[in-house]
Structure 1
């Protein structure tokens, strides 16, 4: 196996690892902040949007102390 083949293997392997990690991280963007019960301390905002992944309508709540956002399905 030549040096060029090893370099190509490292580059494509690294890109594959980055792509897989990015997909798993990106896929969890709203999952931890979804639910039916709005946590204490969160205030309602005027923001409402449709999640492009699943097409569900979400209302945004905000915690002024931590800056976290909570996405409540309407």
Structure 2
């Protein structure tokens, strides 16, 4: 019975660690290229989203050579 409890706690810890790491990685990926100046090679798209935390409009720019996206704050 004790062994089953240890296995259960171990699995739960692994799931919690995985969830935290996933959130941190996603958040960095989303925020890493959010800035003021649009880099060279990026083209304006029609995609605009509203940041739920700050309420700012974010315009998406796309680099067709690298596939990278850039989020620019619009006023």
Pairwise same-fold verdict (TM > 0.5):
yes
Q: Which residue of structure 1 aligns with residue 70 of structure 2?
A: 70
Give 1:23 shift.
Answer: 1.7
Give the equivalent residue in structure 2 for 1:60.
60
The RMSD of aligned alpha carbons is: 1.5
Partners of 1:34 and 1:7 in 2: CA distance: 42
Q: Which residue of 1 aligns with 2:32?
A: 32
1:14-65 CA deviation, whole Å, 9 max, x = no partner? 1111111112112223211111111111111111111223321011111010
- Which ranges of structure 1 fall in alignment gaps of 5 or more residues? none
Q: What stretches of structure 1 move > 3 A for 4+ residues in a row?
A: none
Structure 2: runs of 5 or more not aligned:
none
SS at match of 2:46: strand
